[in-house]
Structure 1
């Protein structure tokens, strides 16, 4: 701690109030010292966050390395592969000499730059561990170099080591952050690095059930979910020539809610999903209130978030205090096909003049006020300005939905 000002190891020892007794373990003493240093962190003496962080780092090294000195990367990696911690595919991509070279890139001194909160977060969420026993299998710099090595494994052999080094330096010096699936997943056998997954749902039994499965699988693989339910037909719609009456969106949203909450993101955190619905959907008024505390569990779906797709036409009618028509997608599928394109306004106006079984006229301002009210009260109603997303986005495909990450 010689490089830290306004810290005292004596104060850490005194504050720990260690009661030495027969049978007390060195690990228990170490934990008390970590807790003591953490309790000394204050606005006046912020450097205790580094003292506590280093004490936690020393304990981590002792547990993982079984001593003071770091093992060679090749030994550490091979043992991890043997214990089924790391993906063995890396041995197919890198030679032994290359792995030894990667080991030379590692600077374990960079662990000392962690604050207590930083390294604790790493231990709790991102380092590979047995989440039943709590046993951690790696230290930060080994995790960083392996993330870099796996990420660039398919690059040309002539240049990839330089890419690995640059990337390792950037993440180990905390110049860039990595999303959770990359930080926790790259180097494991899961081979799933996506943070976000967008799922479009068609108006069929097969699509609705398949999308629920996709939500479950994606959540289990650490993805945050965006679901577009705007194609699902409106409540009261006929099915099989009127043999069945459609139950509407809410029962299906409950399925997605259950799918998301039944799975954890690979043990790291609970699943999450954002349902997208366009402003012109027949059930928009019922969907935007699903998050609030009114109503009952039967008519609320509170564990999902909601995004309302907006467009210039809607905003224009709000400003002019004009009415809008809410539609059933099953009757006007061309409306969704035009959503997010320059043709939408024209198609929408054509649909307004059609004679349809299920449609509803409401005030644009009334709907906008309802959306704003729910957004203010719950904080979990989001807006996607689809015209801007398509005009200014870098994507060649049409954007119709999003999720909280993007």
Structure 2
């Protein structure tokens, strides 16, 4: 069995897949933007980027790259915020999807008739799947997020709820890509979905799509972690991890900070928007803005916080929530995170998507009952141990093996 995988960067779910396929000796090629099979020692800025993209599980002949667009994208990120805010359209045009399109075309060129499976990701695999269909190669699509159609519907509602955040709710750009992913869904022989929200989103496009729901896992962490506790004498340390965008529920996080004031010590981890909005300035001035940091620092912050707050409108399955549970950090989430099933086991609180009132009530319930933090932390650690990446890896491999057996 020979599998070709394509992804623009190589997130944790991609790495877990590559580990499983290489262990089973069924990966022929991984196509991405930038990547190495071994770390490098060079100029600091180049070394940092390169070493974030090391795929040590691969041999050199299993890795194929198309780096030019990703290097341009990384260079754009270094433009000062004020200058970049005047180049919003350019920044969007030269973003992650632009990079992924190049990787998709690379994978299509490298696909061979004797390959068994072309494995791609939603919104990144049209060229690969078209060629696979012509060659008679089976296609597997991982829908790591909801469709653009679903995102548009949810963001249109948000425009009316939080008009002050309107400049960040760019439905016009999304509308141009409304059909993104639709052709891939229809060309896919099987679709891997990490959450019920994504599965429902796929069904809206094609009710007859062959979907396998295989959740992402929590990271393997030290079993010696003690549960997190809070005595209620200091402000509750709340952590937000993710891009500070409406889709991640940043307007609801701002409402939390405004409502609770000094009772809450809010820390924000992630990229801030390029547009300089008054509501964003107020949020950052009243919270602790950490910015984008590497995963090791995120994990340190998780162990130094009392609660994760992530009221996303939509995602695939939030890795930040799964990582938080793995570090014993209770989470207050919406179904939009795609993790409501695991959090509902007791490692946090599930609140109504798009409801400030529901989110405020959840935080209030914790503020009024400090021992609850330790109770939820204990359950979070227990839940994470039973939700490892091994289940995802095995589930996907078995799905691909079954696909090859039945593919004409």
Structure with greater Cα Rg? 1
Higher relative contact order (CA 8 A, sep 6+): 2
> What TM-score, normalized to structure 2?
0.26
Q: Higher strand share goes to which structure? A: 2
